[in-house]
Amino acid sequence: MSLRIGVDIGGNDIKFGATNLDGDQVLLPDLVKRPSLAKDGPQQTIVQVLNGVQAVLAQLSAGWADVADIAVTVPCPCTPEGLIIEATNLGTPETKRAWQVPFGEYLAAAGRQASGMEIPVFACNDANAAGQDDDFVRYGLDASRRTSVFITTGTGLGGCIMINGSVHFGVGQAGELGHVKPALPAQYLDRFAADPNPLCGCGGYQCIEARAALKGLIRRVTWAVTDAGVAHIEKDLASRGERLNGQVLASLRALHAESPQRAAYEVRTFADRDQDALSRWLLEDWAIMIGVLFANLAPVVHPDLFIIGGGMTEMSDAGREWFISVVRRVYSEVNAQACFKPEASKEPGSTGCEIVWSVSRDQGWRGAILMGMRARPAGA
């Protein structure tokens, strides 16, 4: 055995990569990709996964006997054995139930049939894998004393807590940070007055994810393009000396009429490329909620780092600087204790929790391999 295979199952595609046994060397220069058939249910996905694994082996001129294990990430809560607990972002309303299966066991059985060998399968949540990979890019395989909180924003808001280089699970699903429900600070009650009690996909209300992820943004854009929304935002912008751009509003209204989702996607482009005031106001919802989340978590875990990953990392340097400065400002407004100040804690005696961008670049497949290695020590 000489390699490990990592598989990242997403909504659009499935990505495959491979590393050496230590997990610190990438063996394929380019990732193998297959379209995701997750909407059709788990069986079709298993066929796609095996197909991709075979493509990886062919590129490496390797065989099944070289494979130590397969590690898979899924966009939902699951156990390390690959039991899908809730198919949050898998399947369609029709196929969601079909996904609540021991996917890891099915994949191991299919692998056994294809290879005639017993190849262990490890499964994990994609946000955990992203956090694990970020930690690897920062610190390598080092396991010295440190704690970080990692979040990833996009369709949902996922997260994990990393302790000494490993993801902390608790009884199983620790780090589901999108479903933390912190109170809104008084100074932001007015901003959210038209949307005081948002329902989350989990069935609860006021989760961070209900405001700081795509679904929340779609709901907010739908409100922002109404006369009442425009009036509210215009007034708020005026109070800080900014003006709403009528052309951008017209574009957002036209896009929204076509597809609310499309309008929500363009908000980030307008906010970043054009530094548009209205679009930035809308995305500030995310920055504010992330700042509030971090401020509430600081006294619980007192991490060295709060790390932001996911779609927002794709903005320009100026866009990233604007966004993270709002997160830091709100964090400091909510959390006034000096020991939790959002600055580096590299010097001895300093106790702050720095807020930074993720340095991992969509390498969740590698994060899965590294998590699997920690879950199953060498020789086990």
Interacting residues toward Zn ion by CB under 5 A: 179, 200, 202, 204, 207
Q: Nearest 5 degrees, angle CA 221-CA 157-CA 215?
A: 25
Helices and strands, number each (H, E), in the chain: 10, 10
Nearest alpha-carbon partner for 287 in 267, 273, 301: 267
Closest distance between Zn ion and the C-beta of residue 183, in Å? Answer: 15
CA end-to-end span of the chain: 14
Q: Strands 354-357 and 305-310, how do they pair?
A: parallel
- Alpha-carbon span 188 to 199, nearest angstrom: 18
Nearer to Zn ion, 181 or 262 (CB): 181
Quick check: helix, strand or coil at residue 60?
coil
The nearest distance, CB 167 to Zn ion, in angstroms, is 20
Give the length of the chain: 380
d(CA 89, CA 158): 11
Cβ atoms within 10 Å of 231's Cβ, excluding its own:
11
Q: Cβ distance 26 to 366 under 8 Å?
A: yes
Q: How far apart are CA 236 and CA 230, in angstroms?
A: 10
Smallest distance from Zn ion to CB 207, Å: 3
Smallest distance, Zn ion to C-beta of residue 46, A: 29
Residue ranges of alpha helices (H) inside 124-275 are 126-139, 214-224, 227-239, 246-258, 260-273
Joined tokens for residue 281? 């106001």
Nearer to Zn ion (CB atom), residue 200 or residue 330: 200
- Least CB distance from residue 368 to Zn ion, whole Å? 24
Closest C-alpha among 354, 350, 244 to residue 304: 354
Q: Which is nearer to Zn ion, 76 or 249 (CB)?
A: 76
Least spacing, CB of residue 201 vs Zn ion, in Å: 6
Nearer residue to Zn ion within complex by CB, 200 or 307:
200
Looking at beta carbons only, is 34 or 179 nearer to Zn ion? 179
Question: Which of 57/207 has CB closer to Zn ion?
Answer: 207
- For Zn ion, the closer of residues 101 and 202 by Cβ is 202
Nearer of residues 207 and 312 to Zn ion, judged by Cβ? 207
Smallest gap from Cβ 116 to Zn ion, in A, equals 43
Pairing outcome for strands 166-167 and 157-163: antiparallel
Closest distance of CB 264 from Zn ion, Å: 19
Tell me the Ramachandran region of residue 116: left when phi exceeds 0, alpha when psi lies from -120 to 50, beta otherwise: left
Q: Is 225 in a helix, a strand, or coil? A: coil
